[in-house]
């Protein structure tokens, strides 16, 4: 059982380097603070939230697809009507890098305003060598806050020009994209959409094995629709995280439980798509896995930005305890990005990423929903400007 430590009338002492020096009751810290400037706040102070899975660099929202889905269209019908990942790829390929960056920046402000201080962003709407590199460059050029961690997802989908010869696209990812990504140092992680009909377990193993040789850490879109071995592969390869998992098999649960792979669950995606499957969070925890929650922010299956809302969904849809839900968007989110040593906790040696929420009790975080109670956000000790929120989400 996860326990949160709550300090009443607490204070945080932050150094000039933006790192936390000390945490404790204000009375005690006041003595140690020396000449530190005191900034009084009222509410509950959380560690900055860490969103470990997004596709936040995209162009237009996929509104027609949303309407088609409400009329019962499935993934195939939507793809046949020109929708799906490939429609976002066409859109992204057609835009200039400044245009894309501006859109992403606007959207990141909404994440920040909901308390997200670290966000992972994947490429994967490029699907050609140059376009994937362009996307990673655009992600790398985004201004903090929130701070951004880039993931290369060239294997997000097989592009149309390779539809009849998917192995050749895997060759392209392995032989051309990965070496260039590694050489340019533009991504920390490599991810693959491992799912029947997209990339097989064999293809995923090949891509991720090559990525590891290039020094990238590994992630997997695993077992979203079909429990076909994605989680097992993540454990086999020592991936940092396995994400989605709504259809994970019992063997997959056992494999994750015995590994150090973080299970990143995306309840907003199942909700937005109107699916009834839910990732088996309780079974994963019982098996020993660490569970994180993320938004999956993207224009097709989860145009949602709020980690507190994901925490509420973690409780209501997956049976997480409120404490587990808070851990899932802080400590475990950070672990899913290899940042657990400096982010996701309010403790000495951690970066002063802090979220002040207008509440009296931390349990309110996964309780009130559809309202943003985040009042102030600090990243690396610096107060963030939260005003003047989204003017145009649509692009």
Q: Per DSSP, what are the bridge partners of residue 264? A: 243, 292
User: What is the Cα–Cα distance from 27 to 32, expressed in whole angstroms?
Assistant: 9
From candidates 363, 381, 382, 386, binder to a second copy by CB under 8 A: 363
Among 14, 56, 86, 110, binds a second copy (CB under 8 A): 110
**304 closest CA partner among 114, 123, 149, 72:** 114
Output 24 or 319, the one with its CB closest to a second copy: 319
What residues contact residue 124 under an 8 Å CB cut-off, 6+ apart?
55, 85, 132, 135, 153, 154, 155, 156, 157, 191, 193
The Cα–Cα gap between 333 and 247 comes to 21
Q: Which stretch binds a second copy (CB under 8 A): 51-59, 167-175, 251-259, 367-375?
A: 367-375
Q: How far is CA 364 from CA 76, 101, 308, 326, 368, in A?
A: 40, 34, 10, 10, 6
Structure tokens at 25: 């009751």
List C-alpha distances in Å: 230 to 193, 234, 259: 9, 6, 14
370 binds a second copy (CB under 8 A): yes
Residues 376-395 that bind a second copy (CB under 8 A): 389-394
**86 is a contact residue toward a second copy (CB under 8 A):** no
* Min dist. Cβ of residue 341 to a second copy (A): 29
Closest CA to 125 of 49, 59, 213, 218: 59
The CB-of-60 to a second copy minimum distance in angstroms stands at: 9
Among 47, 48, 303, 333, binds a second copy (CB under 8 A): 303
Q: Which of 385, 376, 346 is nearest to 358 (CA)?
A: 376
DSSP state of 42: -
Tell me the closest approach of the beta carbon of residue 71 to a second copy, in angstroms: 7
Stretch that binds a second copy, among 19-27, 345-353, 356-364, 376-384 (CB under 8 A): 356-364
Report the residue number, 110 or 222, with the smaller CB distance to a second copy: 110
Asked, as a colleague might, if the bond just before 108 is cis with ω within 30 of 0, I would say: no
Strand partners, 192: 155, 220
Q: Which is nearer to a second copy, 84 or 230 (CB)?
A: 84
CB of 132 to a second copy, least distance (A): 26
Alpha helices in 175-229 (DSSP H): 178-184, 201-213
Counting residues that bind a second copy (by CB under 8 A) gives 52
CA 154 to chain centroid: 17
Q: Looking at beta carbons only, is 82 or 369 nearer to a second copy?
A: 369
DSSP 174: I
- Give the range of 91-99, 126-134, 168-176, 365-373 binding a second copy by CB under 8 A: 365-373
Of the candidates 371, 351, 373, the one whose C-alpha atom is nearest the C-alpha of residue 361 is 373
201-240 residues near a second copy, rule: CB under 8 A:
none
Give least dist CB 267 to a second copy, A.
10
Query: Which positions from 278 through 297 interact with a second copy, judged by CB under 8 A?
Result: 295
Single residue of 26, 75, 162, 368 touching a second copy by CB under 8 A: 368
Q: Which is nearer to a second copy, 184 or 369 (CB)?
A: 369
359 near a second copy, judged by CB under 8 A: yes
- What string marks each residue from 249 to 278 as x (binds a second copy by CB under 8 A) or -? -------------------x--xxxx-x--
Q: What's the min distance (Å) between Cβ of 227 and a second copy?
A: 20
Q: What residues have CB less than 8 Å from 114, skipping those under 6 apart? A: 49, 305, 306, 307, 308, 309, 372, 374
User: How many Å apart are CA 186 and CA 199, to the nearest integer?
Assistant: 23
Cα angle value 145/147/148 (rounded, 5°): 130
Residue 87 interacts with a second copy (CB under 8 A): yes or no: no
Q: 21 or 282, CB closer to a second copy? A: 282
Measured in whole angstroms, how far is the alpha carbon of residue 4 from the centre of its chain? 22
Looking at the Cβ atoms of 104 and 320, the one nearer to a second copy is 320
- Contact pattern for a second copy over residues 17 through 56, marking x by CB under 8 A: -------------------------x--------------
Instruction: Taking the CA atoms of 285, 288, 294 and 296 in sequence, report the sign of the dihedral they define.
Output: negative
Tokens matching residue 145: 């806050």
Residues lying near a second copy in the complex (CB under 8 A) are found at: 42, 61, 63, 66-67, 70-72, 110, 114, 268, 271-274, 276, 295, 303-306, 309-310, 312-313, 315-317, 319-322, 358-361, 363-364, 366-373, 389-394
């Amino acid at each position: 059982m996860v326990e949160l430590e709550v300090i009443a009338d607490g204070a945080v002492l932050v150094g000039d380097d933006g790192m936390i020096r000390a945490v404790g009751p204000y009375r005690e810290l006041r003595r140690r603070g020396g000449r530190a400037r005191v900034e009084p706040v009222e509410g509950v102070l959380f560690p900055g939230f860490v969103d470990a899975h997004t596709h936040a660099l995209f162009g237009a929202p996929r509104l027609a697809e949303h309407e088609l889905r409400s009329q019962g269209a499935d993934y195939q019908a939507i793809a046949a009507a020109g929708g799906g990942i490939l429609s976002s790829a066409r859109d992204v390929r057609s835009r200039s890098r400044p245009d894309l960056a501006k859109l992403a920046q606007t959207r990141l402000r909404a994440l920040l305003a909901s308390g997200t201080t670290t966000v992972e962003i994947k490429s994967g709407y490029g699907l050609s060598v140059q376009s994937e590199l362009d996307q990673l460059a655009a992600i790398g050029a985004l201004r903090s806050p929130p701070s951004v961690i880039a993931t290369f997802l060239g294997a997000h989908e097989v592009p149309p020009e390779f539809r009849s010869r998917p192995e050749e696209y895997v060759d392209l990812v392995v032989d051309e994209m990965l070496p260039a990504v590694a050489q340019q140092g533009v991504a920390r992680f490599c991810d693959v959409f491992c799912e029947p009909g997209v990339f097989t377990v064999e293809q995923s193993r090949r891509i991720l094995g090559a990525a590891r040789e290039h020094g990238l850490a590994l992630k997997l879109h695993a077992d979203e629709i079909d429990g076909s071995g994605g989680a097992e592969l993540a454990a086999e390869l020592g991936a940092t995280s396995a994400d989605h998992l709504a259809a994970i098999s019992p063997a997959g649960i056992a494999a994750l439980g015995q590994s150090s792979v973080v299970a990143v669950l995306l309840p907003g995606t199942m909700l937005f798509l109107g699916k009834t499957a839910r990732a088996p969070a309780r079974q994963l925890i019982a098996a020993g896995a660490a569970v994180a929650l993320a938004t999956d922010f993207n224009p097709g299956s989860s145009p949602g930005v709020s980690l507190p809302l994901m925490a509420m969904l973690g409780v209501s849809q997956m049976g997480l305890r409120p404490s587990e839900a808070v851990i899932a968007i802080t400590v475990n989110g950070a672990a899913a990005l290899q940042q657990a040593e400096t982010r996701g906790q309010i403790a000495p040696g951690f970066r002063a990423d802090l979220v002040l929420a207008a509440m009296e009790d931390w349990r309110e975080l996964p309780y009130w929903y559809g309202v943003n109670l985040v009042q102030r956000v600090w990243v690396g000790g610096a107060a963030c400007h939260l005003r003047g929120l989204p003017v145009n989400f649509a692009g």
